[in-house]
Amino acid sequence: MSGGVGRLDGRVAVVTGSSSGIGRAIALALAADGADVVVNYARSDARARAVADEITALGRRARSVRADVSRRAEVDDLAARALDAFGAIHIWVNNAGADILTGEARAWSEEDRWDRVMAVDLKGAWLGSRAAAAAMAGRGDGAIVNVSWDHVLAGMGNPTAAIYAAAKGGVLALSRCLARELAPGIRVNVVAPGWIRTKWGQDVDPATDRSVVQATPLGRWGTPEDVAGAVRYLVSPEASFVTGETIVVGGGVVMA
């Protein structure tokens, strides 16, 4: 992660859902490039503080802030606390997502799963983008990145996938509208991860593991760091003429 050190010096980033997984990788990558980072979490204060400690070990400033991104008041408070701590927000990554595949969520009704994913993944991206836009207004140098899903471009035939696709497809459409609305001062782009080895991927059965690898032209699962690399580019000066675009990080399973 050291190759781009200095690209984001003096920048402040808010990364939602960054106490673990893809969000943690994004927060650390942006810090490695020179950004100060607000680590957002919903439940695990200890994990968020650990990520913040990793960021400070890289020589950057960090704060951990709890906020449920499905609630406007809490998202607005997240933005306010970031501004109080660092004086500005230049980068906002809407990464937070609802987990309906592991733990107690596996026993939820389909309607409850739908409601939670829509609230966190879609409404959360909308609320976060609005809070970010307000904080960045007038600066002329803002960057928002929203996290979608590669299979919204191709479909997947199971009930859980339909829920995710509805929310993450909404994130993609929302982002394109925001890219037009907020230009030229704020760029809005999307990363669409595919099969990434996060908490769910670590526990899959051997048959599923093999099927993912076999279906992926690049022959492996993705890593959180693979997704973070795409975000690093989209918020960097190198992407200053890029907005309304989607980078698919899926090893070629879905080719846009």
Domain boundaries, the chain: 12-249
Q: Are 185 and 142 in contact (CB under 8 A)?
A: yes
Q: Is 164 a catalytic residue?
A: yes
* Angle at CA of residue 23, ends 21 and 27, nearest 5°: 120
Whether residue 122 is predicted with pLDDT greater than 90 in this model: the reply is yes
Q: What is the pTM of this model?
A: 0.94
pLDDT-based confidence at residue 1 (cuts at 50, 70, 90):
very low
- Sequence-distant (6+) residues with CB within 8 A of 70 are 119, 120, 123, 124, 127
Whether residue 5 is predicted with pLDDT greater than 70 in this model: the reply is no
pLDDT in tens, 164-211: 999 999 999 999 999 999 999 999 999 999 999 987 778 888 999 999
pLDDT in tens, 45-92: 999 999 999 999 999 999 999 999 999 999 999 999 999 999 999 999
Fold of 12-249: Rossmann fold (3.40.50)
Whether residue 2 is predicted with pLDDT greater than 50 in this model: the reply is no
**Marked catalytic residue, from 92, 164, 195, 221:** 164
